[in-house]
Amino acid sequence: MRSLKIIIFVAPFLLLTTLFSANESNAGKVITFASYKIPMLVENESEGILSEIIQTACKRLNVVPHIKIYPPKRALKSFYNQKVEGIFPSLDIPDSKNAYKTIPIHHKTAFAFTVKSKTPPANISELKGLIIGLTRGYSYPKSITENPLIKVDWADSFPASLNKLLLGRIDCFIGDPDITIKVIQKMHLQLSYNLKHPLFKEPAVIAFQRTPKGAMQAKDFNRVLKNMEKDGTMAKIKFRLLDVAHLNP
C-alpha cells in the first residue's frame, strides 16, 4: 500500500519532468516551414493569424521557427523536395500518404457572392451552368475547378473579380468570408450572400515530412495545439476572424 502511494505521488512529477526535459532538449533547435501569403492569415513569417499560431506553438516547444513565404506552388514543391520540414496551411495536398498532419489550425470556408438582384448559390450543384469568379493564388476544391459543367473565370485579386461581377462578366464570385466582406465594405458594394450556407469547408492543418522525425514533430505540435485550444490561446489569436453567423446582409 505504501509503495502504491509513492507511485501515485511521484508519477505526476515524472510526467512533468519528462515534458520539461523534452522541451529542454529542443532548446535552440530550428524548424523550417514553407507557407504562402494569405491576407489576414499569413502576411509574413511573423504576422497573420496562422503565422502567430505557428510562432506560439514553437515557443511552447522551445524551438525556433524559420518560415519561408513562397508562391503557393513553390511552397508545395519545397516541401516535396524536402527543403523544409513542414508546410502550412495544408489542405488536401500533400495527402496523408506523403505527410504527417496535425489537428486543424483553421477551417477554410467559401461562400457565393452575387449582385443584389440575384439569389446566391447555396451549394456546388447550384453552380452548374454559371460563370464563376475565382482568385489566383487561392485553393478551391476540384469539384469546382475541374467540373466540366462550371465555367471558371480567374482574376488576380478579389476586387478584380468583384468588378467583373458588377459588370455582368461573371454570375457569382466565390470567396473567403473574412477577406471578401472586408473588400466589399472597402469598395462600398451592396451584394447578396448567405453565410449560413458555405459552398465548401475544409480543415487546414500543418503537414510534416513522412519520416520518423516528421511523425514526432506532428505529435509534439498536436499536443501543444490541443493545449492552446483548451487554455483559450487559439481563440485569442483568432479573434480577428469574422463571426460569419451574424454577418448576413
Position 1 in a domain: no
Residue 158 to residue 107: CA distance in whole angstroms: 20
Tens digits of per-residue pLDDT, 13-48?
444 444 444 455 565 699 999 999 888 899 999 999
| Average pLDDT of span 99-116 | 95
Position 4 in a domain: no
Position 5 in a domain: no
CA dihedral 38, 43, 44, 46 (to 10 degrees): -120
Same domain, 86 and 209: yes
Pairing type for strands 172-175 and 106-115 reads antiparallel
Give the pLDDT of residue 94.
83
Residue 144 to residue 132: CA distance in whole angstroms: 9
Where in the sequence is the domain holding 196, given as residue range(s)? 107-200
pLDDT category of residue 242 using cuts at 50, 70 and 90: low
Same domain, 39 and 124: no
- Domain at 120, CATH number: 3.40.190.10
Residue 150 to residue 143: CA distance in whole angstroms: 9
Same domain, 99 and 219: yes
Structurally, the chain folds into a number of domains equal to 2
Position 83 in a domain: yes
Give the pLDDT of residue 25.
56
User: Nearest-CA neighbor of 110 among 191, 203, 200?
Assistant: 200
Position 2 in a domain: no
Instruction: Please provide the DSSP assignment of the chain as one string.
Output: -HHHHHHHHHHHHHHHHHHHHHHHHHTTEEEEEEEE-BTTTBSSSS-SHHHHHHHHHHHHHTEEEEEEEE-HHHHHHHHHTTSSSEEEEESSSS-TTTEEE-S-SEEEEEEEEEETTSPPPSSGGGGTTSEEEEETTS---HHHHT-TTSEEEEESSHHHHHHHHHTTSSSEEEE-HHHHHHHHHHHT--EE--TTS-SEEEEEEEEEESSHHHHHHHHHHHHHHHHHHHTTHHHHHGGGS--GGG---
pLDDT category of residue 184 using cuts at 50, 70 and 90: very high
Least confident segment among 16-30, 48-62, 142-156: 16-30
Tens digits of per-residue pLDDT, 125-134?
999 999 999 9
Same domain, 99 and 112: no
The percentage of residues in the chain with a pLDDT greater than 70, rounded to a whole number, is 86
Position 3 in a domain: no
Give the pLDDT of residue 10.
44
* pTM for the model: 0.77
AA letter at 93:
I
Same domain, 82 and 129: no
Q: How many CB atoms lie within 10 A of CB 230?
A: 9
